[in-house]
Each structure stands twice: as C-alpha cells, then as structure tokens.
Amino acid sequence: MYTATLLTNPAAPCLDAATAGALAEAWGGGPLGWLAEGEAAEFALDAVPEDLWARWEELQARGIDLAVQETAGRRRRMLLADMDSTMIGQECIDELADMAGVGERVKDITARAMNGELDFEGALTERVGLLKGLPESVIAEVYDARITMAPGGKVLIATMKANGGHAALVSGGFTAFTERVAAELGFDEHRANTLLAEDGVLTGDVGRPILGREAKVEALHQISARLGFTPAEVIAVGDGANDLGMLHEAGAGVALHAKPSVAAQAGIRVNHGDLTALLYLQGYAKADFVA
C-alpha cells in the first residue's frame, strides 16, 4: 500500500477539497483524509501512479506539493538534517564572506557548489581561504544579526522527539554555527566542519577531514547503527548537491526548496511547504504537532 500526500505553504494554504478529491478519484485512491484543513491531506493507493510526476508538475503551478510513499514504516525514528538553507534561511559562509568584503565572489562559488557544478571540498577550501584575516568574533556577530531559523523547524524536531525520535544536524558548514542552531532548535547532536583560528583571527582554513557528501552518508549509517535502527527508519532533508547521498540512503529523502538539479534527483520534493511538511509526509496531523 502507498500513501499520497498533498501539502501547501502553511502561511498561505491553498489546498481545496475539490483539487485533492479529484486526484484521489483519478488515481482510484481511498477516502481523502485531512491532516490540516486547507493545508495538507492524504489518501491511500494500491500502487505508484504512472503519471505521478506529470501530476506533480501540474500541482506545482498551483502552489501544491505532492508525494507518494510506501505506507508501511512511513513514520521515521530519526531526522537527519542539513543546516544552511534548510534548517536556517541563510548560507553561513556567504554571510561571513559579506562581512569580509568578498560576498559576491563567495556567493557565486556557493551556488555552483550546491548545484553540483563544483567539487564540494575544493569549493569549501577556496571560499574559506577568502575569509583569512577575519576576526573570529565576526562569527557571533553574523549569527546574532543575520541568521534566522527556517519556518517549522522547531515544531518538526519537537514533534518527532515527543514520539521517540532522534534529531541530528549534519552540515558542510561550520561547528561555530551548528552548535548554536542545534541548541536553539532542539537537535540531539550535530556534526560540521571546524573553522581554524589563531589569536582570534581566522586562518583561512578548516580542520581535516572535511565533512562533505560522503561524511553525511557516513553520519546517517553511524548514528542509526549506534541507536539500533536502520537507514530505512531515517528521514533526511537537504537542498544541495552534497545532500544527495544521504537523501538517497535514507528511508525518506526530502529535497526541500532545493536547487533544480538536486530536486530532479530526489524522490520527494517540497517546494511550497515549510519544514512541517516532513511531519505531514510521515502522517502526522496538525493536531499532533508539539509546539
């Protein structure tokens, strides 16, 4: 059995019964169940429809996301999340670079790396090199003045943890940021790269080994094994090319507001919903959310 989930942006819900019901009827699905009125609904299916992605494209134009998953095991035991442009609204290295006066140059490299056009490790070391000489104190300034939490993140983590879940933040960014983001949102643990500094000044380098695409996959396997369950019981979320490995290895891999080339390689694509979409995808109703 499979479950089809339709969802929208909670800040501007636009899912109506006629649209959801028509899709369920066209696909020969079961009765429509509302997870949140006007915001998210689901229905059962016997098989994955052949025209899934054509229907997905049609609904995208109307501000609606659509996903079809196996019903069994849909509620996951662990969240594995990227940080930059996923759990927060910014790319930390771009914000640091802006403070260093090399913002546009670094932003271009970041965009190309996240789109899969550049080797992640090479792109990271190149960008960090441009931060050489920046006072280490700027990290705290950037966090306090520029970093914002992505909508729905705290509710996602609180709800999963209230239901026995574990939350891990795994980033190609920096521990100086993941430590604070993890604490603010309620993650159980975090992994990232370390910006190196001497005498209060950034050296323009990062600690080795660099945490990139493969390290995120390793984290998925290591953490799930340590906790006694399988990768199939993990829901992973990210937006960049360096996230694709963990999105493919997890039981559910969600490309959230991802770069087009990344989304095209993901089985679950959320472009309109916020992070609470990951709860709807697991079958949680809004009434089940933990504030």
Task: Name residue 4's beta-bridge partners.
Answer: 43, 68
Query: What pLDDT score does 247 carry?
Result: 97
Annotated catalytic residues are 82, 84
Query: What pLDDT score does 226 carry?
Result: 97
CA gap 249, 189 in Å, rounded: 20
Mean pLDDT of 210-233: 94
Residue 149: pLDDT band (50, 70, 90) is very high
Residues 40-93: tens digit of each pLDDT:
999 999 999 999 999 999 999 999 999 999 999 999 999 999 999 999 999 999
Burial class (CB in 10 A: 0-12, 13-18, 19+), 194: middle
CA gap 96, 88 in Å, rounded: 15
Q: Specify the higher pLDDT residue, 112 or 224.
A: 224
Return the CATH number at 7. Answer: 3.30.70.260
Task: Name residue 195's beta-bridge partners.
Answer: 206
CA gap 269, 198 in Å, rounded: 42
Identify whether residues 60 and 81 lie together within a single domain: no
Parent domain of 25:
1-72
Identify whether residues 190 and 208 lie together within a single domain: yes
Identify whether residues 88 and 204 lie together within a single domain: yes
Residues 265-289: tens digit of each pLDDT:
999 999 999 999 999 999 999 999 9
Query: What pLDDT score does 122 carry?
Result: 85
| Low-confidence winner among 33-37, 203-207, 211-215 (lowest mean pLDDT) | 211-215
Number of domains in the chain: 2
Identify whether residues 168 and 255 lie together within a single domain: yes
Q: Residue 258 pLDDT > 80, yes or no?
A: yes
Provide φ and ψ at 44, rounded to 5°.
-85, 150
Return the CATH number at 123. Answer: 3.40.50.1000
Identify whether residues 128 and 66 lie together within a single domain: no
Query: What pLDDT score does 210 carry?
Result: 87
Identify whether residues 212 and 257 lie together within a single domain: yes
Query: What pLDDT score does 114 carry?
Result: 77
Task: Name residue 81's beta-bridge partners.
Answer: 169, 237
Which residue, among 36, 57, 33, has the nearest Cα to 45 in the 3D structure? 33
